[in-house]
Structure 1
């Protein structure tokens, strides 16, 4: 029995010693924590490439600095290691995440006493590529263009291909619609090329949950990023309004060109837009159902908010100060086709009292849009009686609709009295374009 008691006592003493030692260590650990505490935060857990990462903290203790290490998540190699001084218990460290490739990272902050904290964050690649379907970089019959710009703290890249034949088509069209620049934005022939761009803008807007006004600003930011160039520098003309495909291939233009391109793109997405023509400037107006603040123009009972296109970082409703009091002409985006014509007349026969002429008219619709229900009247004017008198019979013809770019040759005959002073006059008119006439010089039959 004594042996048993003895063993029990020894065991009790040993256990008591262990407990005492544990208490001492615990007290030292607690006292250390009380004298040195570390609180750290980062301004976000997710960053787009190029965003600023801010690491800030408060250290209560005697350490004059902390060490900040950044490494790939799960990796052992430090990408960044820097000592940061502490001022009034506060420290802050900022880096540009442009120096970090996309991926997950760990931040470890250590004090001299060994207290540390680990935070994690991600860097996302904010390079967004919009590539048109059918894009081929090795085809000599196409222009291949690459654009880069920034919007919504992201970098965007757009790659497009435009047939050289389409560019030449617009290059060879008349550039004299200064009376209504809206017509440059409304061509039917370039819609297929613009629509492929629009598809990519619309898809990216949906993926990024942009509102309709955000989407409009997204598209405007692309055009704003194009170079501003004057017509005299790039074409040698004082005024040379570009069609949208010309501006895209030339990768820039002046205020009219960039406004026309912006209006064309937004119009294809069914935005209610107009061109705003100022004394020496042009911009775009947009009517949005969302709450927008800023400068606008009233037209047909709607408010059209100003969009500047010549330079980057202009928001909807922001207008350059010099144009705040300027009078504006609003140009709605309504297609008004322009028909052109030339004709020739050749004497084919004559009788005792009459001369017969074959008249050949070359008619073309320059656009934009389809010329609806065109008609033509061909007559010989009784000059000595006055401009309003013609020799009967004249010829009137109803023609088929002319789509943009369509042309046709119309041939007919006129019977004109002999030995009189006359001229041949051709008049074209229709439902949705301005009527016009072309006349020959006066001549004796």
Structure 2
């Protein structure tokens, strides 16, 4: 980043999660104390751009156990293809591949290949033995690092009469990760508080802070410098640049895509301002998005939130200053969103009738829960029941033990319930916890 009027070059080192140029080079071997299994991971990028993992699971000769199933979770990444060795069955669900066989005896190994258009930063695996002795091995995390491949961009903008330029090189793996990431139903704060791009944003903020210190800028000037950069990015409509009418972008997407609409530039500006150490919120006037900044030396239009005055910042169009509110939003109300990390829980379910007796119908219910937010969901539980038609009554019900579901995590519950036969009922599921609102889903009414 440098000023053309007064050349002062500052090195901006953007933290990269690396991409391998060598196809399937050996990566690491991990042995976990609770299990006899060893895993060797190879990784690479195919010629058509797919990120590929090969995971070799070895059952040591002296383990004393035969293995029956291996489940590999990619944390909701899109799985394009997978390959298992002969004799293994495979199935996928929501970013998880499960492989099963009759028995993988001591002294043998099996290699599994998984490919995804998005980089696989980590995967989780669970191994179960044929006699159940190791069904409590739990979830094991294996982290993946990728070597460098970058996307170069060039930005030019004007601030206080000087022309500035910035020529960054962004991590392609980090960009691909966010490009394929789900768009969670949220108030947009999750796009600011997501942590995977913190190092990249912080490196840019450090350079801005260094420029501000060298120039002796006030906080008003420092914030306006950030705003002038963001305002210089072209406005682009989601419906034109993506296949969606509404597609909020994470900060690195807005930077690499060289622009976005009002929520995209507001998310980017809010992230930069907050990491500079200033309080920030998102401001949502009718059919618009902007930023509010807590600034002790600013004046103009502001919104009061939790006892503080947040001055309005327009991020679309150039030359807007802190506190300048466009005429069309004067006298209107706006929703205010704090930039607080929080869970965003979604779930889906499927059920299957597995048995009939003279008295009961037995159903197996698979519940898949995703945390698409930026903070862990605390004490998450599910309540599953077959409702009776009388209000408040159920035929059968069960509540799961609480778990903490980390940001980006997926959890599965397989539940079996047996309501009485010949009754009018519906399946009713609620998901609730300490730090998110209860969500629920019901089936149509039917007769068991």
* TM-score, normalised by the number of residues in structure 1: 0.64
| Alpha-carbon spacing, 1:314–1:130, altered in 2? closer, same or farther (3 Å) | farther
Q: CA deviation at 1:250?
A: 0.8
Matched, 1:395 2:402: no
**CA distance 1:363–1:165, shift in 2 (3 Å):** farther
Partner of 1:148: 156
- Rg comparison, structure with higher value: 1
Partner of 2:203: 196
The answer to whether the 8 A contact 1:355-1:415 is kept is yes
- C-alpha deviations, 1:355-399, integer Å up to 9, x for none? 2222211111111322222111111112x324x32123x221233
Give, in angstroms, the shift of residue 283 of structure 1.
1.5
Counterparts of 1:273-352 in structure 2, within 5 Å, are 273-289=280-296, 291-352=297-358
- Whether the 8 Å CA contact 1:129–1:156 is kept in 2: the answer is no
SS of residue in 2 equivalent to 1:401: strand
Aligned to 1:86: none
Instruction: Quote the residue 1:377 is aligned against.
Output: 383
Tell me the residue number matched to 1:436. Answer: 439
Contact 2:238-2:245 within 8 A present in 1 as well: yes
Cα deviation code 1:66-100 (max 9, x no counterpart): xxxxxxxxxxxxxxxxxxxxxxxxxxxxxxxxxxx
SS at match of 1:367: coil
Is the partner of 2:403 in helix, strand or coil?
coil
Cα separation, 2, equivalents of 1:135 and 1:201: 22
Structure 1 406/236 Cα, relative in aligned 2: closer, same or farther at 3 Å? closer
Of residues 402, 413, 416 in structure 2, which corresponds to 1:413?
416
RMSD: 2.8
Listed as ranges, the gaps of 5+ residues in structure 2 are 22-146
1:247 to 243, 254, 269: 254
Task: Give the Å deviation of 1:330.
Answer: 2.1
| Larger RCO (CA within 8 A; separation ≥ 6) | 2
Tell me the equivalent position of 2:224: 217
Between Structure 1 and Structure 2, the one with more helix by share is: 1
Task: Report 1:74-153 matches (<5 A).
Answer: 124-126=6-8, 130-133=12-15, 141-153=149-161
After TM superposition, give the deviation of residue 128 of structure 1 in Å: 5.3
Unaligned runs of 5+ in 1: 1-47, 51-123
Cα distance per residue 1:261-311 (max 9 Å; x no partner) = 11122223332111222224322111112x222222222322111112112
Once the 2 structures are TM-superposed, how far is the Cα of residue 253 of structure 1 from its aligned partner? 0.9
Asked whether the 8 Å contact 2:266–2:291 carries over to 1, the reply is: yes
Write the distance in 1 (CA, Å) between the matches of 2:260 and 2:332.
23
TM-superposed CA distance for 1:141, in Å, is 4.6
